[in-house]
Amino acid sequence: MRCNSLVEVCYSSQGVWVGVCVEYLMNVLDDLGLEATDNIKTLLTLLQAAPDQYNELAEQAPQRLAGAAVAALRRLKLTQ
């Protein structure tokens, strides 16, 4: 499943719910003996990051994960 699709499927009015969905997915993968991809781990990191740390973490993440979708979901402004 692509990370963008996961964000759309789990979207709610509160960005916290998406983090819960991703964390649940990681737990299911772990129970199956599988490891979450780097993109899913990065997505969870961005969703759980403190607002004052988001931009720094976003600079290190792939643009499609850290771009406008996750920032908008968390109601954060990206700095360029």
Residue 56 within a domain: yes
pLDDT band at 8 (very low <50, low <70, confident <90, very high): low
Number of domains in the chain: 1
Both tokens of 68, joined, read 């406008």
Q: How far is CA 20 from the centre of its chain?
A: 10
* Chain segment 60-79, per-residue pLDDT in tens: 888 877 766 787 777 777 77
Burial of 38 (0-12, 13-18, 19+ CB in 10 A): exposed
Which has the closest alpha carbon to 18: 3, 28, 32? 3
The string of pLDDT tens digits covering residues 10-43 is: 544 456 677 788 889 999 999 999 999 998 998 8
pLDDT over threshold 70, residue 9: no
Residue 27 maps to a domain: yes
| Domain contains 31 | yes
